Amino acid sequence: MHSKLNQMVQYLDPALDQSFAALSDATRRGIIAQLGRADASITSLAEQFRMTLTGMKKHVQVLEQAGLIVTEKVGRVRRCTLGTRGLAAEAAWIEAHRQLFEARFNALDTIISELKQGEGDDQRG
């Protein structure tokens, strides 16, 4: 049990947790996509996504806390832009785990092929 707990502690990464939690929502992914095309005010985002200003502010706050977007007050308008940190850490985590899954599936394919070959040998013998 103690070993399992130590393993779990090794995988704690609050920044990744925040990013993945922020990106788990379709509206927030849509906001990121929109801001990838052009900066926007919170009001225009709320209109585009057909939601209340209060609802949009909550989504923007989650994205901003994760460091994925930045807001700036310009006069009476709060402008949103993509954050500068990007998603390199998230992409690296996904790629490492993609490679792990691929290696496991390749090993499974090898075992299945060996089992099928063994079945063929048994039926001939």
Q: What is the pTM of this model?
A: 0.73
Going from the C-alpha of 2 to that of each of 7, 8, 58, the distances in angstroms are 9, 10, 38
Contact 50, 57 (CB under 8 A): no
What distance in Å separates the CA atoms of residue 55 and residue 44, rounded to the nearest whole number? 13
Look at 2-11, 103-112, 114-123 and tell me which has the smallest mean pLDDT: 2-11
pLDDT above 50: residue 5: no
What distance in Å separates the CA atoms of residue 9 and residue 19, rounded to the nearest whole number? 18
pLDDT per residue as tens digits for the range 6-51: 554 456 678 899 999 999 999 999 999 999 999 999 999 999 999 9
Q: In this predicted model, which residue has the larger pLDDT, 122 or 118?
A: 118
pLDDT per residue as tens digits for the range 56-66: 999 999 999 99
Q: Give the tokens for residue 94.
A: 């996904």
pLDDT above 80: residue 122: no
What integer is the mean pLDDT of 74-89? 91
CATH 1.10.10.10, domain 2-82, yes or no: yes
> What's the pLDDT at 84?
86
> What's the pLDDT at 3?
53
Location of structure tokens 């807001």: 71
